[in-house]
């Protein structure tokens, strides 16, 4: 029990750090059970992994706060944030000089299913890390006893006991998340791919601070002709701009808010905490941001929809390169997204390759089609929707060549959207571009690819599995480095950690699979949906976050050592 743990720690004082290993096990405290799942090998290694379980008779959360899956995820997220805040307050109180710290996963604006906290009718669980204190390599037993036997009970008391928490804030969080999920579920039956609620605050404080802009933010106001109203289960009626399926252009002058709107739509595949400003911006969950990404590796992707007749006769039915160009990378990103099941493509001119996006009359005249491998997106965007049902939202302030292809056009002026679809149609009729559609092969579905999970190699040196997440956008997988900085819908380090674990899982559980990449993604998605993210890791950790199939595919597709066959 707790007294036993304290005695153990005091006895360890001054001994070599390895002796901490004896701590593994469970300890019953008066109000909860503490489990020490993993003990670090030395003071500089990844910190130790602990968890606390509080029976519901003590924690006291009313059942309606976790009665639906949406609410449960929202409450788990709330508890993680409360615990995190309590950890920070405690370390402030104690001063920063102290070695060793208690921490949960890092949290941004998104509410994601994470392995940091769990709730069910029996109780609540929180998982956290502790840097077990040392002086040099000697155990600081007294300090460790203070952390585990005094600090942890205090943290539990502050963060995991319903009556000590802000009941109104919890209620607001679960209702907000449930409403956002409900809104997202309404999109498809209303022929929409995105909804941006009136009053939303879209701009962020800075490129590195995702909290809402505080001063002079112009709240979103839908144009009447695109306005739709939904009656949320908790919050009641809400109106906003509905973006229909099909091809949508976002136009407007520079600095008038186009990219900010698209960014909010990109992240609308996730839910956000109350106060974020984008709580009720929701997007089809199969929407994928597409951009140019020169330098990435590409393995066996059929990009012939966009690129043909490369110099030196390189095939584009199964295109591979260690160093893609802007246009070939953007083509590969689209084909890979579609292969993984994308229903909506989100593209911003700021991050697109110009020659992939447009090819105007004059250039058609100068460079004959046989010398231009690229069929520009402008000639594919329409058939992608008409023949395959894949919608596109495209930010395009610099060229009117897309006017013919558009179903809907939204102009941003001083951060306010207007529906300019009629004008766009009139202008297209009045001023012909004179361009010919580039002679095209018909749009064919890309050749399916078979990923060979056995070729995934997480080993490094003596270790069979070694991976690491670096700088929030890179996975080091064995001796491979996967650069995910251009995968813009990855929002949380926990997602990268879970993706790395999923790749190890694929290697170990599907080594000889003969499935297409899409089928493998189905399998993993199904396994996580039924058994939770814990199936991915060898022992329970608190640091994994829910990821989408598109981002797992993105990591696999950027792994330079991967083996793929057709």
In sequence order, which residues have a C-beta less than 8 Å from that of residue 565 and are 6 or more positions away?
A: 300, 449, 450, 452
Helices 517-531 and 549-557 sit at what angle, rounded to 10 degrees? Answer: 130
255 binds, among Mg ion, ligand ADP, none (CB under 5 to 8 A by kind): ligand ADP
Which tokens belong to 144?
């460790």
Strand, helix or coil at 504? helix
Q: 367: left (phi > 0), else alpha (psi -120 to 50), else beta?
A: beta
For Cα atoms 118, 121, 124, give the angle at the middle one, nearest 5 degrees.
30
**Shortest distance, CB of residue 260 to ligand ADP, whole angstroms?**
3
Whose Cβ is closer to Mg ion: residue 111's or residue 251's?
A: 251
**Shortest distance, CB of residue 442 to ligand ADP, whole angstroms?**
34
Of 229-237, 239-247, 252-260, 501-509, the window that binds Mg ion (rule: CB under 5 A) is 252-260
The rounded distance, in Å, linking the Cα atoms of 242 and 340 is 25
Beta bridge partners of 392: 247, 345
**Shortest distance, CB of residue 208 to ligand ADP, whole angstroms?**
13
**Shortest distance, CB of residue 412 to ligand ADP, whole angstroms?**
6
**Shortest distance, CB of residue 253 to ligand ADP, whole angstroms?**
7
Whose Cβ is closer to ligand ADP: residue 96's or residue 216's?
A: 216
Interacting residues toward ligand ADP by CB under 6 A: 202-203, 213, 216-218, 252, 254-260, 412, 415
**Shortest distance, CB of residue 261 to Mg ion, whole angstroms?**
9
Strand, helix or coil at 285? coil
- Distances, alpha carbon 392 to alpha carbons 184, 337, 361, 388, in Å: 18, 12, 23, 12
Which of these, 262, 271, 251, lies nearest to 203 by C-alpha position?
262
Whose Cβ is closer to ligand ADP: residue 43's or residue 252's?
A: 252
Whose Cβ is closer to Mg ion: residue 258's or residue 343's?
A: 258
57 binds, among ligand ADP, Mg ion, none (CB under 5 to 8 A by kind): none
The rounded distance, in Å, linking the Cα atoms of 400 and 404 is 9
Whose Cβ is closer to ligand ADP: residue 265's or residue 502's?
A: 265
DSSP letters for 139-150: E-HHHHHIIIII
Whose Cβ is closer to ligand ADP: residue 215's or residue 530's?
A: 215
257 binds, among ligand ADP, Mg ion, none (CB under 5 to 8 A by kind): ligand ADP
256 binds, among Mg ion, ligand ADP, none (CB under 5 to 8 A by kind): ligand ADP
CB < 8 Å & 24+ apart, contacts of 362-365? 364/435, 364/436, 364/438
**Shortest distance, CB of residue 278 to ligand ADP, whole angstroms?**
11
The answer to whether 398 contacts Mg ion (rule: CB under 5 A) is no
- Distances, alpha carbon 58 to alpha carbons 54, 126, 156, 314, in Å: 7, 14, 11, 67
In the window 344-363, what residues touch Mg ion (CB under 5 A)?
Answer: 350
497 binds, among ligand ADP, Mg ion, none (CB under 5 to 8 A by kind): none
Of 48-56, 254-262, 287-295, 453-461, the window that binds Mg ion (rule: CB under 5 A) is 254-262
- When binding is defined by CB under 5 A, the residue of 173, 259, 297, 495 that contacts Mg ion is 259
Of 255-263, 326-334, 402-410, 417-425, the window that binds Mg ion (rule: CB under 5 A) is 255-263
Whose Cβ is closer to ligand ADP: residue 262's or residue 521's?
A: 262
**Rounded to 5 degrees, what are φ and ψ at 323?**
-155, 80
471 binds, among ligand ADP, Mg ion, none (CB under 5 to 8 A by kind): none
**Shortest distance, CB of residue 249 to ligand ADP, whole angstroms?**
13
**Shortest distance, CB of residue 359 to ligand ADP, whole angstroms?**
23
391 binds, among ligand ADP, Mg ion, none (CB under 5 to 8 A by kind): none
Between β-strands 271-272 and 281-283, what pairing exists: parallel, antiparallel or unpaired? Answer: unpaired
**Shortest distance, CB of residue 400 to Mg ion, whole angstroms?**
17
Helices (H), ranges, 458-516: 493-509
CB 269 within 8 A of CB 548: yes
242 binds, among ligand ADP, Mg ion, none (CB under 5 to 8 A by kind): none
Strand residues in 45-122 grouped as ranges (E): 48-55, 102-103, 110-111, 117-120
CB 165 within 8 A of CB 221: no
Which tokens belong to 348?
């911003």
Whose Cβ is closer to Mg ion: residue 292's or residue 517's?
A: 292
The rounded distance, in Å, linking the Cα atoms of 426 and 411 is 15
**Shortest distance, CB of residue 213 to ligand ADP, whole angstroms?**
6
The answer to whether 537 contacts Mg ion (rule: CB under 5 A) is no
The answer to whether 40 contacts Mg ion (rule: CB under 5 A) is no
- Per CB under 5 A, residues contacting Mg ion are 258-259, 350
């Amino acid at each position: 029990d707790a007294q036993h743990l304290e005695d153990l720690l005091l006895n360890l004082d001054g001994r070599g750090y390895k002796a901490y290993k004896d701590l593994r096990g469970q300890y019953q405290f008066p109000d909860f059970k503490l489990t020490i799942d993993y003990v670090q090998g030395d003071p500089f290694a990844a910190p130790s992994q602990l968890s606390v379980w509080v029976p519901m008779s003590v924690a006291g959360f009313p059942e309606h706060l976790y009665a639906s899956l949406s609410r449960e995820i929202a409450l788990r997220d709330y508890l993680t944030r409360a615990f995190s805040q309590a950890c920070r307050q405690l370390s402030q109180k104690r001063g920063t000089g102290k070695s060793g710290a208690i921490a949960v996963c890092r949290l941004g604006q998104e509410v994601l299913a994470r392995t940091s906290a769990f709730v069910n009718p029996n109780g609540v669980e929180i998982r956290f890390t502790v840097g077990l204190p040392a002086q040099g390599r000697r155990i600081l037993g007294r300090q460790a006893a203070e952390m585990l036997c005094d600090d942890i009970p205090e943290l539990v008391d502050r963060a995991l006991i319903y009556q000590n928490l802000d009941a109104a804030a919890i209620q607001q969080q679960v209702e907000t998340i449930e409403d956002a999920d409900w809104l997202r579920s309404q999109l498809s039956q209303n022929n929409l791919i995105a909804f941006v609620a009136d009053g939303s605050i879209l701009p962020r404080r800075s490129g590195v601070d995702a909290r809402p802009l505080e001063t002079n933010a112009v709240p979103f106001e839908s144009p009447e002709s695109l306005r739709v109203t939904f009656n949320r289960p908790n919050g009641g009626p809400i109106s906003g701009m509905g973006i229909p399926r099909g091809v949508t252009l976002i136009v407007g002058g520079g600095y008038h808010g186009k990219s900010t709107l698209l960014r909010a739509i990109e992240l609308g595949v996730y839910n956000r905490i109350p106060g974020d400003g984008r709580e009720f911006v929701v997007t089809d969950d199969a929407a994928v941001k597409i951009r140019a990404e020169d330098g990435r590796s590409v393995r066996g992707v059929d990009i012939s929809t966009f690129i043909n007749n490369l110099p030196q006769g390189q095939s584009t039915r199964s295109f591979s390169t260690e160093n893609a160009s802007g246009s070939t990378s953007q083509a590969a990103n689209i084909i890979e997204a579609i292969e993984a099941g994308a229903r909506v493509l989100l593209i911003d001119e700021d991050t697109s390759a110009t020659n992939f996006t447009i090819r105007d009359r004059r250039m058609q005249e100068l460079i004959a089609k046989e010398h231009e491998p690229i069929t520009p997106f402008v000639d594919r965007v329409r058939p992608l929707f008409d023949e395959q049902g894949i919608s596109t939202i495209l930010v395009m302030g610099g060229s009117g060549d897309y006017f013919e292809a558009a179903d809907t056009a939204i102009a941003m002026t001083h951060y306010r959207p207007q529906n300019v679809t009629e004008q766009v149609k009139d202008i297209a009729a009045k001023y012909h571009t004179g361009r010919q559609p580039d002679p095209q092969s018909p749009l064919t579905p890309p050749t399916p690819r078979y990923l060979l999970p056995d070729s995934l190699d997480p080993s490094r040196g003596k270790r069979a599995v070694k991976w690491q997440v670096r700088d929030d956008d890179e996975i080091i997988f064995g001796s491979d480095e996967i650069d995910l900085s251009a995968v813009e819908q990855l929002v949380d380090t926990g997602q990268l950690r879970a993706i790395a674990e999923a790749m190890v899982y694929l290697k170990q559980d599907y080594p000889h699979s003969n499935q297409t990449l899409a089928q493998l993604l189905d399998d993993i998605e199904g396994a996580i949906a039924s058994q939770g993210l814990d199936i991915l890791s060898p022992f329970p950790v608190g640091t994994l976050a829910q990821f989408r199939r598109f981002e797992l595919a993105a990591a696999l597709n950027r792994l330079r050592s991967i083996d793929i066959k057709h």
